């Protein structure tokens, strides 16, 4: 099964996708994480990606697809469910996935969170870069301040989590969303809308309800 977690930046896709993965024998493929891992290599492509991400702009559709498809195939070969986090972000990406054959999403889950709450969430976010684990200084704090619960390593703030960049990312999301939703409606893909506000556990419960009722 291929699930898409869809929603504005900071709506909780990363937080919820890792919980979902452990519930359903799935693997999360976050395009944002893929790019951040690639940036660590510090070659010309890494430099280009770093500039795009820190400006809050989108990576080209071609490059996204080129990097993501082998990852989807890898998870499918391991006979695990694929959980896409942050993909597709444009109509072209959604169409390209279908054209690639045997990798069309079965279920698209859309998280609704108002824009002003998103800014609060993103500016307090802390991440563990090695694993992609996500915390929030107030809403979802680690057991020890600034330290990852599992490895004891230091948590960091993402470079693109500056208020101005966040506003640009939110605007881009609103610009691209409707054509993607319309497209999946035309394809008769299951689409579920989830209220992404409230405590993290409550959102997880809503997500699990939607997943179980679609099976």
Nearer to ligand AP5, 73 or 158 (CB): 158
Q: Least distance from C-beta 58 to ligand AP5, angstroms?
A: 4
Half-sphere exposure of 190 (CA within 13 A, CB side): 15
> Tokens 């099976």 identify what position?
215
Nearer to ligand AP5, 79 or 113 (CB): 113
Q: Least distance from C-beta 151 to ligand AP5, angstroms?
A: 17
Q: Least distance from C-beta 111 to ligand AP5, angstroms?
A: 7
SS3 of residue 159 by DSSP: coil
Looking at the DSSP bridge assignments, the partners of residue 192 are 109
Going by C-alpha positions, the residue among 30, 29, 36, 76 that lies closest to residue 156 is: 36
Element (H, E) at 133: strand 133-136
Binding residues for ligand AP5, rule: CB under 6 A, are 7, 9-15, 30-32, 35, 52-53, 56-59, 64, 86-87, 89, 93, 121-122, 124-125, 134-136, 139-140, 160, 169, 198-200, 203
- Which residues touch 180 (CB under 8 Å, ≥6 apart)? 6, 88, 89, 90, 91, 94
> Tokens 């208020």 identify what position?
163
Nearer to ligand AP5, 24 or 215 (CB): 24
Question: DSSP character for 147?
Answer: B
Nearest residue (beta carbon) to ligand AP5:
32
What gap in Å lies between CA 26 and CA 22, rounded to an integer?
7
Q: Least distance from C-beta 121 to ligand AP5, angstroms?
A: 3
Q: Least distance from C-beta 195 to ligand AP5, angstroms?
A: 10
Nearer to ligand AP5, 80 or 157 (CB): 157
Nearer to ligand AP5, 43 or 79 (CB): 43
Nearer to ligand AP5, 39 or 211 (CB): 39
What gap in Å lies between CA 183 and CA 143, rounded to an integer?
42
Q: Least distance from C-beta 182 to ligand AP5, angstroms?
A: 18
């Amino acid at each position: 099964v291929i699930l898409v977690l869809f929603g504005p930046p900071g709506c909780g896709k990363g937080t919820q996708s890792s919980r979902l993965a452990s519930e359903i024998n799935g693997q999360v493929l976050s395009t944002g994480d893929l790019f951040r891992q690639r940036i660590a290599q510090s070659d010309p492509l890494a430099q280009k990606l770093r500039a795009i991400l820190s400006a809050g702009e989108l990576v080209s559709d071609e490059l996204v697809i080129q990097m993501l498809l082998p990852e989807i195939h890898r998870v499918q070969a391991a006979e695990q469910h694929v959980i896409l986090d942050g993909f597709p972000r444009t109509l072209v990406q959604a169409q390209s996935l279908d054209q690639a054959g045997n990798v069309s999403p079965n279920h698209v889950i859309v998280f609704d969170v108002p824009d002003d709450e998103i800014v609060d969430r993103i500016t307090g976010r802390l991440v563990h870069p090695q694993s992609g684990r996500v915390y929030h200084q107030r809403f979802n704090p680690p057991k020890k301040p600034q330290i990852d619960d599992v490895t004891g390593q230091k948590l960091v703030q993402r470079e693109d989590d500056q208020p101005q960049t966040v506003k640009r990312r939110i605007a881009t999301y609103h610009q691209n969303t409707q054509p993607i939703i319309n497209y999946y409606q035309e394809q008769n893909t299951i689409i579920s809308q989830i209220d992404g506000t409230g405590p993290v556990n409550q959102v997880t419960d809503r997500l699990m309800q939607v997943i179980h009722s679609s099976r």
